[in-house]
């Protein structure tokens, strides 16, 4: 990046206090992947018996680390596991060089950490189309392994940032059979956010004991309701990955426990919202709900059409209650809609009903809602009972400033 990006006005007041999760240790280091002196590599080492599940981008141009991780899910947990993440270079669209880089890093992690290579999961984020200088990462692995410590998760969150203006973390605790289970997670993501499984990079750790297939079901379900319901700019990354590791160190089996699944969902929702609030150039957090659809899938199609519309997003940035742009987005989505049945609200303000501007509509009240940091747009299609909610941000000139010179 050409210069430092200003902190998002929607950023939380502080990074949360993330507790130690028994069974995982962290280390970070500056390897010079792209920028000298910047902490850009994170290592997490997990104890034997750790179950690992994940969801990944379905982009047809998936990066080499994504393909490698997908192939490794469901492996024998007996030898433990490790996550190695670098920022600055996505190792995507790099052909055989990308595959070689993954192999070299995986083998080096395996040797240094004493973890089977089949249980080393790597991720890369940053510029696409440039070979990853994996030798710089490999050269630091001895130092990384020696620096592992239980309380290093906050540093890990900072090491994986690219255009993020703040590190993202979340924590949940849940009581299961009278014992406390801890779940902590970190994420990176700011632009190229329109997930098709998950989004950006997310790493979640828990001391719960659970079989891999059960953990996989939980994270897949939660991803559909969280990361798959956010968008910043309609662009799906080549590198999107969500990995969740259950170390089992608490000894508490959470298989079939609804409260644990709910806690994972809440944590993923928290991280997903933080990504939207850090959307490149964002000044407003936007919730869009479409109800009255014939199916939930069609409700989501309409909601995402509104959320991804540059015209809608720029109107929100300009604090303009331009409901005509919402109507336009519904009409272009391809899902069923009837113009004469539509109702639209901005916050609590009824804007349109029965396919026409409402007699009760107040432009001043709608404009007042648009001046806030948090915007709610609600559409009722009048066709059925299905509902979907998605989250996005506005589109400002700062998005252009950030992305016009991303590689410089």
* Known binding residues for substrate: 162, 188, 199, 280, 403, 408
How many Cβ atoms sit within 10 Å of the Cβ of residue 337?
23
Could you write out the DSSP letters of every residue in 352-368?
Answer: EETTEE-TT--HHHHHH
Q: Are 128 and 57 in contact (CB under 8 A)?
A: no
CA distance 141 to 29: 9
Positions marked catalytic? 199
Q: How far apart are CA 324 and CA 328, in angstroms?
A: 6
What is the Cα–Cα distance from 317 to 315, expressed in whole angstroms?
5
The answer for residues whose C-beta is within 8 angstroms of residue 43's C-beta and 6 or more apart is 26, 27, 28, 82, 83, 84, 85, 109, 113, 141, 144, 145, 148
Tokens 């929702």 sit on residue: 269
In the chain, what is the greatest distance between 2 CA atoms, to the nearest angstrom?
71
Distance (Å) of CA 297 to CA 101, 111, 301, 330, 383: 39, 46, 6, 14, 13
Annotated binding site: 162, 188, 199, 280, 403, 408
Residue of 155, 122, 128 lying closest to 56 (CA atoms): 122
- The Cα–Cα gap between 145 and 137 comes to 12
Query: Are 101 and 92 spatial neighbours (Cβ–Cβ below 8 Å)?
Result: no
């Amino acid at each position: 990046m050409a210069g430092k990006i200003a902190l998002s006005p929607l950023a939380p007041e502080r990074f949360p206090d993330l507790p130690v999760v028994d069974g995982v240790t962290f280390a970070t280091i500056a390897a010079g992947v792209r920028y000298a002196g910047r902490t850009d590599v994170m290592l997490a080492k997990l104890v034997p018996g750790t179950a690992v599940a994940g969801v990944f981008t379905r982009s047809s141009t998936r990066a080499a680390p994504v393909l490698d991780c997908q192939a490794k899910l469901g492996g024998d947990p007996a030898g433990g596991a490790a996550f190695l993440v670098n920022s600055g270079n996505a190792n995507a669209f790099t052909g055989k060089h990308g595959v070689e880089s993954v192999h070299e890093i995986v083998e080096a992690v395996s040797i240094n950490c004493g973890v089977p290579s089949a249980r080393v999961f790597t991720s890369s984020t940053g510029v696409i189309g440039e070979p990853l200088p994996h030798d710089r990462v490999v050269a630091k692995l001895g130092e990384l392994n020696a620096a592992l410590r239980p309380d290093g998760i906050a540093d890990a969150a900072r090491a994986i940032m690219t255009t993020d203006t703040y590190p993202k973390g979340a924590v949940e605790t849940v009581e299961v059979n009278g014992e406390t289970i801890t779940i902590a997670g970190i994420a990176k993501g700011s632009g190229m956010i329109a997930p098709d499984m998950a989004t950006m990079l997310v790493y979640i750790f828990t001391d719960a004991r659970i079989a891999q297939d059960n953990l996989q079901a939980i994270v897949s379900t939660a991803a559909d309701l969280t990361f798959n319901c956010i968008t910043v700019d309609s662009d799906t990354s080549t590198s999107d990955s969500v990995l969740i590791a259950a170390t089992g160190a608490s000894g508490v089996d959470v298989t079939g426990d609804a409260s644990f699944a709910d806690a994972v969902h809440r944590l993923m929702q928290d991280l997903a919202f933080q990504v939207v609030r850090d959307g490149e150039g964002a000044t407003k957090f936007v919730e869009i709900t479409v109800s009255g659809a014939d199916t939930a899938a069609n409700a989501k199609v309409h909601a995402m059409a509104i959320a991804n519309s540059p015209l809608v997003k720029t109107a929100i940035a300009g604090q303009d209650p331009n409901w005509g742009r919402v109507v336009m987005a519904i009409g272009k989505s391809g899902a069923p809609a009837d113009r004469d049945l539509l109702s639209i609200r901005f916050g609590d303000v009824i804007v349109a009903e029965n396919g026409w501007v409402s007699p009760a509509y107040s432009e001043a009240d709608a404009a007042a809602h648009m001046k806030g940091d948090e915007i709610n747009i609600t559409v009722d299609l009048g066709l059925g009972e299905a509902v979907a909610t998605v989250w996005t941000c506005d589109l400002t000139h700062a998005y252009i400033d950030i992305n016009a010179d991303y590689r410089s």
